[in-house]
Amino acid sequence: MQTDAKSLRITIAGGGVTGLACALELARRGAGVTVLEASAKAGEGAMARSGGMLAQGFESANEALGTVFTGLAAQALSLWPAWAAGIETASGLTTGFRQAGSIAPAMKPDDDAWLAGLAARAEAQGIEAVRLDVLEARQLEPGLGDGLTSALHFPGDGEVDNRALGPALVAACEAEDVEILTNARFDDPADVEADRIILATGWFASLAADRVPELAAIQPVKGEMIAFGGGGLTLSQSLRGSEIYLSQKADGRIVAGATSVPGETGLDVTTRARTRLQTAAARMLPALGRQAVIDQWAGIRPGTPDGLPLIGASSVPKIALALGVFRNGVLLAPAVAKVMADYVLDGIEPDPAFAPGRFGR
């Protein structure tokens, strides 16, 4: 049953990429939307600390999360070109979006087996992927290291400047009359005057599991990253290795990430992690071995036991969940927003594979 969007007041807890994407979609469909952001500034958090990867092909093949994830990621990637253009038009700001593809190179002996697994999973799920020999890979990315033995090309993949996306999304939401309240933490659903409440918070959502039991499934996973100045280097597209990825942003920076440390919530970058990332980056792209590291940071991804997000109704009245997107929050944002708007406004149930209560209490 359809709902009159103009009569709905919707509160979204969380001003990250998922929360802002949901706010923008709902507002564009006529709903009145308020976003509660716990920090002093919306559009930052895990989004600003991510790599900004839109690697639907690579992630679907590498993570092996099944066809339900592949379908959601494919839907998201198909939405991204128009979604980015709409955000840029509404905000007057760039998102740094580009869809130039990604290359997964085999750079060390055990990478050949990893690459074969990627290719097999891509074929099984109907993901466009092209095997490349050394010459073909170097034609696409001449700077790849001497250890290169073969590669897999995902021509549909893309990337975005994650630090530019946040301010652009905030401005686009404000252009649609979304009310964004900062330093506003979600505590008790009973204190929120709204027809529907959407929880789109980060890893700390599990701290509210006593009020919303489905949130107990959220698990923090720390990721550390570094950035090189670029030094005149130009990457034709993102590079996705077995132990690192490289992505160039609009200002020329080349970001390298990321570690994965389950259960950790500190935002420090260890010397061991920095060294590991530098070594892997230089193996993949030797020119980076001569570049200075100009930045380092860590972020906390909100994961779940099965790697799939929580999208749909909570057992608590009025509350819906759109969180647990792990390391694909930026990629999935427009699709999760559409699914959530379809559910809240049109009563279209999300895929049960994403049901928030699937892990029990």
Check residue 214 and give its pLDDT. Answer: 96
Instruction: Give a yes or no: residue 236 inside a domain.
Output: yes
Closest Cα to residue 73, out of 298, 353, 347? 353
Listing DSSP states for 298-344 in one string gives EEEEEE-TTS--EEEE-SSTTEEEEE--GGGHHHHHHHHHHHHHHHH
Same domain, 31 and 172: yes
Q: Which helix (H) or strand (E) holds 34?
A: strand 32-36
Instruction: Give a yes or no: residue 310 inside a domain.
Output: yes
Same domain, 146 and 167: no
Instruction: Give a yes or no: residue 360 inside a domain.
Output: no
CATH number, domain with residue 31:
3.50.50.60
Same domain, 49 and 175: yes
Same domain, 43 and 67: yes
Query: pLDDT-derived band of residue 47, with 50, 70 and 90 as boundaries?
Result: confident
Domain boundary among 115, 140, 155: 155
Check residue 191 and give its pLDDT. Answer: 80
Same domain, 57 and 127: no
Query: Going by C-beta distance under 8 Å and a sequence separation of 6 or more, which residues neighbour residue 304?
Result: 217, 218, 219, 310, 324, 326, 359
Domain boundary among 155, 172, 193: 155
CATH number, domain with residue 247:
3.30.9.10
Instruction: Give a yes or no: residue 134 inside a domain.
Output: yes
**What digits encode the pLDDT tens for the residues 60-117?**
998 878 899 999 999 999 999 999 999 999 999 999 999 999 999 999 889 999 999 9
Same domain, 151 and 168: no
| Tally of domains within the chain | 3
Same domain, 27 and 88: yes
Same domain, 12 and 66: yes
Same domain, 234 and 295: yes
**What digits encode the pLDDT tens for the residues 12-42?**
999 999 999 999 999 999 999 999 999 999 9
pTM of structure: 0.95
Phi and psi at 99, nearest 5°, equal -120, 75
Same domain, 191 and 326: yes
Question: Is 162 or 223 the better-scoring residue by pLDDT?
Answer: 223
Instruction: Give a yes or no: residue 50 inside a domain.
Output: yes
Instruction: Give a yes or no: residue 322 inside a domain.
Output: yes
Residue 2 has pLDDT above 70, yes or no: no
Q: Which domain holds residue 127?
A: 102-155
Check residue 187 and give its pLDDT. Answer: 79
- For residue 196, the SS3 value is strand
Same domain, 112 and 84: no
CA 231, distance to chain mean position in Å, is 27
Query: pLDDT-derived band of residue 3, with 50, 70 and 90 as boundaries?
Result: low
Instruction: Give a yes or no: residue 361 inside a domain.
Output: no
Closest Cα to residue 19, out of 257, 182, 221, 161? 182
Instruction: Give a yes or no: residue 359 inside a domain.
Output: no
Query: CA 229 → CA 158, 161, 289, 296, distances in Å?
Result: 21, 15, 12, 12
Query: pLDDT-derived band of residue 143, with 50, 70 and 90 as boundaries?
Result: very high
Same domain, 11 and 127: no
